[in-house]
Amino acid sequence: MCCIGGCTAQFISQQQMVLEEKKRQYESYFRPDSSNGHRWNKIHNSLPQINRALSAIKNGTYGICESCGEYIPQERLRAVPGATRCIECQENWRYQWTR
Ligand SMILES: [Zn+2]
């Protein structure tokens, strides 16, 4: 059975572990001798997102959409641990910047 408070806290601490692990991996790629441009690009985009998600965990706002303030579904957070927006807002945001 699932309880609201306990399971959310457990879920968030799991996500925090996943994010910290990813962060460690990404930071280890940041060596100056790394010449893989494609990989670096991915890291360049992902690391700030992971840091944002980690600071949201610290602030107690993890899992809440930055844009609309709605809860982000846990399935989305499992798939994208660094997500700080719900799918709808992410799409709008992407549209805004790629237009
Ligand atoms: Zn939203």
Tens digits of residue pLDDT in 53-91: 999 999 999 999 999 999 999 999 999 999 999 999 999
The residue among 97, 78, 96, 88 whose CA lies nearest residue 15 is: 78
Q: How far is the CA of 90 from the centre of ligand 1 (A)?
A: 7
Residue 96: the pLDDT is: 78
* pTM of the full structure: 0.76
CA distance 98 to 33: 32
Q: How far is the CA of 56 from the centre of ligand 1 (A)?
A: 15
Q: How far is the CA of 40 from the centre of ligand 1 (A)?
A: 29
CATH fold label, 3-98: Four Helix Bundle (Hemerythrin (Met), subunit A) (1.20.120)
DSSP state of 34: -
> Which residues, at least 6 apart from 71, have a Cβ–Cβ distance to it below 8 Å?
63, 64, 65, 86
Q: How far is the CA of 48 from the centre of ligand 1 (A)?
A: 19
Q: How far is the CA of 94 from the centre of ligand 1 (A)?
A: 13
Return the domain boundaries, the chain: 3-98
